[in-house]
């Protein structure tokens, strides 16, 4: 019940009611990716994604990114993607900027007392 109200009143929580109705009437399901995102296409050729959790464009896998931006018209097959991966390839991650897991160089994270090389403006 809470998810229903979130979909109606909060636009950043997965999908709005307008997107839900548009998907219901005009969307043809094309597939899912490893994150659980669902991809749709209309008869007119419009493509869109409904995210599994938080809306974040960096959560789209590379193959689906090329499909949704019309770089490749072939719908990615999840089993084929898993087969064609090299052992040295890392798993795709979302953009971690602004989170506690942001990459920080060792020199900066160890030394908290770094002197500024500039002076702030004083009014």
pLDDT digits (tens, 9 = 90+) for 94-121: 788 888 888 777 766 555 666 667 777 7
Residues 35-50 have a mean pLDDT of 92
Note the pTM of the prediction, 2 decimals.
0.66
Whether the per-residue pLDDT at 59 is higher than 60: the answer is yes
Query: Measuring CA to CA, which residue among 57, 24, 55, 27 is closest to residue 43?
Result: 27
Domain ranges, ordered by start, for the chain: 2-90
What percent of the chain has pLDDT above 90? 20
pLDDT of 43 reads 93
pLDDT digits (tens, 9 = 90+) for 61-83: 888 888 999 998 888 876 666 66
Asked if residues 94 and 51 have their Cβ atoms less than 8 Å apart, the reply is: no
Q: How many CB atoms lie within 10 A of CB 65?
A: 17
């Amino acid at each position: 019940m809470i998810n229903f109200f979130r979909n109606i009143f909060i636009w950043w929580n997965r999908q709005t009611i307008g997107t839900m109705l548009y998907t219901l009437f005009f969307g043809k399901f094309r597939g899912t990716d490893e994150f659980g995102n669902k991809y749709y296409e209309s008869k007119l050729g419009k493509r869109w994604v409904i995210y599994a959790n938080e809306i974040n464009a960096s959560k789209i896998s590379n193959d689906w990114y090329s499909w949704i931006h019309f770089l490749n018209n072939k719908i990615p097959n999840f089993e084929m993607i898993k087969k064609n991966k090299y052992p040295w390839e890392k798993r795709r991650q979302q953009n971690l900027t602004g989170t506690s897991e942001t990459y920080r160089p060792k020199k900066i994270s160890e030394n908290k007392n770094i002197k500024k090389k500039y002076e702030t403006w004083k009014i």
